[in-house]
Amino acid sequence: MEAPDDETMSAFILKVGSLGNVKGQTLRAFRPERDGRDSGEDQIAFLKVPILPSPQATRSLGEIDLIGIPQGGKDVGSAWPHVYSNRGRLTELDIRHGRNRQNMAPGRDAVVVPATLDNVRYGLAIDLKAGRKIPAEVRYSDHNGDGHLA
Amino acid sequence: MASYCLSDSVSDQGIRNIQDTVKRGDAAIAEAKKNGMKIVENTGRWALTMPSHYGGAG
Cβ atoms of B13 and A20 closer than 8 Å? yes
Q: What digits encode the pLDDT tens for the residues A32-52?
A: 443 333 443 322 223 333 333
B-chain CB neighbours of A40 within 8 Å are none
Closest to A115 in 3D by CA, of A1, A25, A14, A39: A25
In a domain? residue A10: yes
| Mean of per-residue pLDDT scores for chain A | 49
Q: Phi and psi (nearest 5°) for B37?
A: -100, 165
Write down the pLDDT at residue A83: 53
User: What ipTM goes with this model?
Assistant: 0.72
Select, from the ranges A113-122, A124-133, B31-40, the one with the highest average predicted confidence (pLDDT): B31-40
Find, in chain B, the residue whose alpha carbon is nearest to that of A16: B28
Residue-wise DSSP of A106-148 = B-S----EE--GGGBSSS-GGG-B-SSPPPSSPPPB---SSS-
The tally of CA atoms less than 13 A away on the side-chain side of residue A15 is 14
DSSP-derived 3-state class of residue A94: strand
Q: Is there a single domain that holds both residue A18 and residue A81?
A: no
Q: Is there a single domain that holds both residue A2 and residue A67?
A: no
Residue of B1, B3, B9, B18 best to disrupt the A interface, most CBs of A under 10 A:
B3
| Record: contact A24-B8, CB cut-off 8 A | yes
Q: Is there a single domain that holds both residue A58 and residue A107?
A: yes
Q: Is A105 left (phi over 0), alpha (psi -120 to 50) or beta?
A: beta
In a domain? residue A150: no
In a domain? residue A11: yes
Q: Is there a single domain that holds both residue A79 and residue A95?
A: yes
User: What letter does residue B39 receive in the DSSP assignment?
Assistant: -
Which residue in B5, B13, B50 is closest to A20 by CB distance? Answer: B13
Q: Is there a single domain that holds both residue A59 and residue A87?
A: yes
Low-confidence ranges of chain B (pLDDT < 50): 45-58
Q: Is there a single domain that holds both residue A41 and residue A55?
A: yes
State which residues form the domain around A9: 1-27
- Residues A47 and A27: their CA atoms lie apart, in Å, by 7
| Number of domains comprising chain A | 2
- The Cα-based distances of A40 to A31, A60, A83, B15, B32 in angstroms read 11, 23, 23, 41, 24
B-chain CB neighbours of A83 within 8 Å are 57
Q: Is there a single domain that holds both residue A42 and residue A5?
A: no
Q: Is there a single domain that holds both residue A21 and residue A84?
A: no
pTM: 0.40
